[in-house]
Amino acid sequence: MVRMDGPDFSKGVAWQRGEYVPIAQASVPLTDWGFLRSDATYDVVTVWDGAFFRLDAHLERFERSCRRFRLDPGKTMAEVTDILAQCVKLAGLRSAYVEMLCTRGQPPWGSRDPRQAVNQFYAFAVPYVWIANEAQRERGLHVIVSDVQRIPAASVDPTAKNYHWNDLTMGLLGALDAGGDTVLLTDAAGNVVEGPGFNVFAVRGGALVTPKEGVLEGVTRRTVLEMAQALGIPVELRALPADELRAADEAFLSTSGGGVLPVTRVDGQPVGNGAPGAVTRRLVETYWAWHRDPRYSRPIDY
Ligand code: PLP
């Protein structure tokens, strides 16, 4: 909605330092360690058809990530919910990508002690973000398995959502240069782990396989596991060697940026028959159907 008498919130809205601003004006101070040291955590929840999807799961993960990195957003989850909803409402969005962040902030000048920093909370809502465009969703993604290794879990805990993305970004650049749509990184043993903004699943003999460890426990991954249970599809949580992904009957990614996204080529070779498979399509359908389920959807009071 464009307001003639006030700020233009039509492209999205951010909450920063106690006020709502148009997304184009959103900023963190240059000296915030969130920027200088990637010292921050965040979470992303989506809004579909005027309702948050699995908001509680995202808030719980955000609180866990904050605790893990010794960050304090200084807000209750009820206050966070109000701010997120207000960002969405001011922007007039019915479907949105909504991010909450906590940065380290800045210790007093001269101090290098992170305990002295005043942590900062930020939030913003923008139109829904798809990791794959419509054509890619239709035909399936071409994924390149990168030789860039994901930062080890012993160095940065991948279960706490973080901005240590240099490995993901360098891998993505390599994959795009090689003609792929996106990238999957591996661990030191050559198992695929995750990519920039998504988890990965292979389908073999009717069962789902997804990495057990060394990944963010995506809320969409969790939704896929719950859908599999509801649909009677067996699941194996274990290491997924890159060669097993290449030899899979079907493959897909899971992400808040589009749900279940078919993968139909890996490193230039077709997965299965090279078209989105039946199990994947069933999960895509169920994923969107669950957005209308009151167990997971929380309507926004516009
Ligand atoms: N893995 C990484 C590294 C991510 O950044 C994300 C989401 O941004 C995911 C997995 C998928 O998580 P979710 O399903 O909660 O969006």
Choosing from 99, 151, 215, 216 the residue with most ligand 1 atoms within 8 A of its CB, the one to mutate for a pocket test is 216
Average of pLDDT values for 64-74? 98
Pocket flag, ligand 1, residue 58 (CB < 6 Å)? no
All structural domains of the chain: 13-127 (3.30.470.10), 134-290 (3.20.10.10)
Instruction: Give the span between the Cα atoms of 283 and 118, in whole angstroms.
Output: 43
pLDDT tens digits, 71-109: 999 999 999 999 999 999 999 999 999 999 999 999 999
Query: Which residues, listed in sequence order, are joined to residue 202 by a DSSP beta bridge?
Result: 209, 251
Look at residue 2 and tell me whether its pLDDT is greater than 60.
no
Look at residue 298 and tell me whether its pLDDT is greater than 70.
yes
Which residues in 21-58 are b (16+ Cβ under 10 Å) and which e?
bbbeebebeeebbbbeeebbbbbbbbbbeebbbbbebb
Instruction: Give the span between the Cα atoms of 279 and 267, in whole angstroms.
Output: 22
Pocket flag, ligand 1, residue 218 (CB < 6 Å)? yes
How much is the pLDDT for 5?
74
Q: Please, are residues 124 and 99 in contact by the beta-carbon 8 Å criterion? A: yes
Pocket flag, ligand 1, residue 198 (CB < 6 Å)? yes
Instruction: Give the span between the Cα atoms of 175 and 186, in whole angstroms.
Output: 13
As given in the structure block, the two tokens for residue 186 are 């591996």
Give me the percent of the chain exceeding a pLDDT of 70.
99
Look at residue 64 and tell me whether its pLDDT is greater than 70.
yes
ipTM above 0.95 for this complex: yes
pLDDT tens digits, 208-251: 999 999 999 999 999 999 999 999 999 999 999 999 999 999 99
